């Protein structure tokens, strides 16, 4: 079971997503589109940060709320990736790779939220292995 947010699979996936977003937004295509570059980075950061903030709250209602915000930010990243692809800032393979990461973390968060909402333990905010694995 996870004792720290850094141990959560969803947070690890979010970290990979954020690192990939930063790498892709350093490329030539994003150089002059400051608004999109800033917004997609902020959304990716929000995915990671809300997982951490919710987990550290140590109450079920707060963690579920923050995980929901994190999931919404993952959706925002996916939407912004579509914009970047249409503007030809990303190649198809780059788009698919990072879009898949954003989708993966979204599914992990969905399953983690469901687990927490269905748990019989009133203060259970620990991750149970295999309960929300989405690979």
Contact 80, 40 (CB under 8 A): yes
Which tokens in the block code for residue 106? 């979204």
Nearest residue to 102 (alpha-carbon basis) of 127, 76, 84:
76
What CATH number is attached to the domain comprising 74? Answer: 1.20.1440.60
Confidence grade of residue 132 (pLDDT, cut at 50, 70, 90): low
Residue 36: is its pLDDT beyond 80?
yes
In a domain, residue 113? The reply is: yes
In a domain, residue 44? The reply is: yes
Total residue count of the chain as it appears in this document: 135
Range of the domain at 49: 5-118
In a domain, residue 128? The reply is: no
Residue 84: is its pLDDT beyond 60?
yes
Contact 9, 43 (CB under 8 A): no
* Residue 61 or 104, more confident: 104
Contact 14, 51 (CB under 8 A): yes
Question: Which pLDDT does position 31 carry in this prediction?
Answer: 84
CA separation, residue 56 to residues 11, 29, 66, 68 (Å): 13, 37, 10, 15
In a domain, residue 129? The reply is: no
Question: Which pLDDT does position 26 carry in this prediction?
Answer: 95
Per-residue pLDDT, averaged over 105-118, amounts to: 95
Q: For residue 128, what is the DSSP state?
A: P
Question: Which pLDDT does position 119 carry in this prediction?
Answer: 80
CA pair distance 12, 32, nearest whole angstrom: 30
Work out how many domains the chain is built from and give that number.
1
In a domain, residue 127? The reply is: no
Other Cβ atoms closer than 10 A to 58: 11
Q: What's the longest Cα–Cα distance across the chain?
A: 51
């Amino acid at each position: 079971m996870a004792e720290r947010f850094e141990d959560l699979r969803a947070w690890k996936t979010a970290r990979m997503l954020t690192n990939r977003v930063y790498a892709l937004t350093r490329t030539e295509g994003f150089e002059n589109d400051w608004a999109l570059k800033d917004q997609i980075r902020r959304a990716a950061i929000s995915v990671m940060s809300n997982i951490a903030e919710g987990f550290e709250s140590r109450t079920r209602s707060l963690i579920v709320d923050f995980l929901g915000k994190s999931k919404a930010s993952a959706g925002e990243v996916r939407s912004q990736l579509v914009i970047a692809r249409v503007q030809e800032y990303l190649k198809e393979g780059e788009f698919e790779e990072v879009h898949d990461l954003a989708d993966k973390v979204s599914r992990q968060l969905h399953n983690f939220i469901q687990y927490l909402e269905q748990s019989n333990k009133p203060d259970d905010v620990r991750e149970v292995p295999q309960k929300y694995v989405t690979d």
